Amino acid sequence: MSYRKPKSLFTGEEGESERASAYAPLAERMRPRSLADFVGQQQLVGEGRILRRLIEGAGALPSLILWGAPGTGKTTLGRLLAERSGARFVPLSAVFSGVKDIRAAISEARETRQAGQRTVLFIDEIHRFNKGQQDALLPAVEDGTVTLIGATTENPSFEVTGALLSRSRVLMLNPLSDEEIEAILRRALADEERGLATLHPQLEDEALARVAHSAHGDARVALAALEAAVESTAPDADGVRQVTLETMVEALGRAHYAYDKGGEE
């Protein structure tokens, strides 16, 4: 993943980025653009809770380690925090990046800082970085060149160096409930701009409930299954796609396999 081309939903840019987003997976298209759209994690974003205060407050954004299962909103919260604070959102994947990428991102952050622009450096799967790679972040975190937001599915006490932990706040995200997953699915079905509404899908409540339960708290798996099921169902004479429970179950199996094989995005 290149730090020079962050996929931000909050820049307001039109043209090429909007055309590209039209071809993005449903889970990416439906990524919340504001806290009002965010579903789940009320222990963090509810009224008076820590992330709500950080997003709505005027103070400096601290470095954070977001710890939670896949599909619980870590990347989305990182984007929202960056947007709210007026900072550039620069994403790196620890799977595909190394010290060279870290240094390049920090160098650019120093340049933009001189122009009055802050940078949030978002490291996905930060537990994949070794000690040397994590140590490369320290000077820039210490002097405020970047605000670090690290996302991890592993216990940061064991996978993130003590030096980084001492300079960050660790926040735990919970798996989404069945009801929260179902709310996300219904929003995708009804959304004409970013969702599936223009395909005219029709699903039984049982099918939605099955997917919501079987996704095990992972919104991306549920949305991937919904997208595959709707797109693989041919429209009837009235243009309606009658998605069956059997089709949803089959699509869910493929979605689980894809994420299990590919890892966290």
Cβ contact 119:148 at 8 Å: no
Instruction: Enumerate the β-bridge partners of residue 173.
Output: 68
Which candidate, 119, 101, 122, places its Cα nearest to that of 110? 119
The CATH fold of domain 16-173: Rossmann fold (3.40.50)
Taking the C-alpha atoms of 123, 264, 181 and 64 in order, what is their torsion angle to the nearest 10 degrees? -20
Q: Tell me what pLDDT residue 259 has.
A: 54
Q: Is 47 left (phi over 0), alpha (psi -120 to 50) or beta?
A: beta
Decide: residue 256, CB within 10 A, 0-12 exposed, 13-18 middle, 19+ buried.
Answer: middle
Q: Tell me what pLDDT residue 14 has.
A: 42
Q: What is the CATH number of domain 178-262?
A: 1.10.8.60
Which candidate, 6, 173, 222, 29, places its Cα nearest to that of 97? 6
Assigned token pair, 66: 């977001």
Query: How many Å apart are CA 55 and CA 132, to the nearest integer?
Result: 31
Assigned token pair, 65: 């380690």
Give the start-to-end residue ranges of the domains of the chain. Answer: 16-173, 178-262
Task: Going from the first residue of the chain to its last (265 residues), give the mean pLDDT of each consecutive group of 10, the final group possibly shorter.
Answer: 38 43 88 89 90 78 95 93 90 95 96 94 97 96 96 96 96 96 97 96 92 93 95 95 93 67 45
185 HSE (CA, 13 A, CB side) = 35
Cβ contact 182:212 at 8 Å: yes
Assigned token pair, 61: 């954004």
pTM reported for the whole predicted model: 0.83
Size of the chain, expressed as the number of residues it contains: 265
Which candidate, 12, 4, 10, 33, places its Cα nearest to that of 112? 4
Q: Tell me what pLDDT residue 9 has.
A: 34
Assigned token pair, 212: 């919501």
